[in-house]
Structure 1
């Protein structure tokens, strides 16, 4: 798939005679809750992509493929490593989540050469990157406490005092700052064959990844090196199929 050219945010949303906002306004409205699990997942893909881009001699992305995010693609990233096509899936969680685990299930991958899905479910990407963001547990507890108080005032129109609103905004600012600080991110990188052994019931616990010697851990500074190592170890185990032969 060849990606669209990116918008720059200044495009107008409205009619010929009335503006209701801009694309930048829409982005701010829809994505400001950056700690939301769905948006954090998009951010994780962006972080891994932009980090690997810093080593273009090692990770060669196909022309135009990742200019913007491809929502329906089987793989989150696709690049060439030492002449071999590498398909990547990226998962994310944070330490405030009740269950410290990643969702990871087999699927029927799309075969571009045949223009159809595979008949059997499997772990189709070559490597998997699991990203965990460390957040302040106290911030999480404070947010829950405030929301509990507000929800108890349903009959009063969910009344909020100015002090409560100020505290809530302060904590949310702290959480969002922690999410955007890449020193708070840890990454677990594993091959498809290893992931297929670890995923039980479509879930993999963080503790399982942490304690498995076949899973490689990285921080933001070592991410390129570790991803490269897993790619190197994965290539000899791959078989050429229609997806490799297909042109991106």
Structure 2
């Protein structure tokens, strides 16, 4: 991605008195929505690994590159942005895909899980009064190699947290990098 498209918070929206920060606050401040919580989870994992050296690419085959490993980040939460009478069941998409090549504008013929590692991020807070996606103590992380997903869940498109706990142990933000380095 070219640096010419990277905006600063004070960048003006031509023809208005508004800045890009005004736009971001208006459109992207509810971090409890599924899409923004997912992007925040990618950012959190990227900060833990120190691999945010390139801007995020929407719809890329994986989310991050760390030590030449492709990392896929998934997120889920018990409390959603929309009203629900009960907590959400925690599950994650793990389906195989075709990799898209931005250079050729083509999808690969091979269907597989594209990353080498999966990091499953659970925003675990269940008290609506305390929920704060920016509080890293409210997150748990489960890390697994893609080969393990392929072994235990070869054809599944989703995995529940209870199934995931059979192959991965929870870690914290502080221990996440060490867990990944030890794989």
Short-chain TM bin: 0.7 to 0.9
Match of 2:172 among 206, 211, 219: 219
- Contact conserved, 2:123 with 2:140, CA < 8 A, in 1? yes
Note the 1:1-248 alignment, pairs <5 A. 2=1, 4=3, 6-15=6-15, 19-53=16-50, 61=51, 66-79=53-66, 81=67, 85-96=68-79, 97-110=87-100, 116-137=106-127, 139=128, 171=129, 174-175=130-131, 178-196=132-150, 197-198=152-153, 201-212=156-167, 215-230=168-183
Q: Matched residue pairs, number?
A: 174
Structure with greater strand percent: 2
CA distance in 2, matches of 1:37, 1:116: 28
**Which protein is bigger by CA-based radius of gyration?**
1
Deviations 1:98-136 (A, max 9, x none): 221111210012468977432121111111100001122
CA distance in 2, matches of 1:111, 1:31: 28
CA distance in 2, matches of 1:86, 1:25: 36
CA distance in 2, matches of 1:67, 1:23: 20
Deviations 1:3-58 (A, max 9, x none): 5363221011132xxx24110000101111111111000000000111111xxxxx
CA distance in 2, matches of 1:3, 1:192: 31
Structure with greater helix percent: 1
Identify unmatched segments of 5+ residues in structure 2.
80-86
Number of the residue aligned with 1:163: none
CA distance in 2, matches of 1:216, 1:200: 22
Deviations 1:135-157 (A, max 9, x none): 224x2xxxxxxxxxxxxxxxxxx
What is the RMSD computed on CA atoms of the aligned residues?
2.3
TM-score by length of 1: 0.63
Identify unmatched segments of 5+ residues in structure 1.
54-60, 140-170, 231-248
Number of the residue aligned with 1:146: none
- Contact conserved, 1:109 with 1:118, CA < 8 A, in 2? yes
CA pair 45-95 structure 1, distance change in 2 beyond 3 A: same
TM-score by length of 2: 0.84
* Secondary structure, aligned partner of 1:121: strand
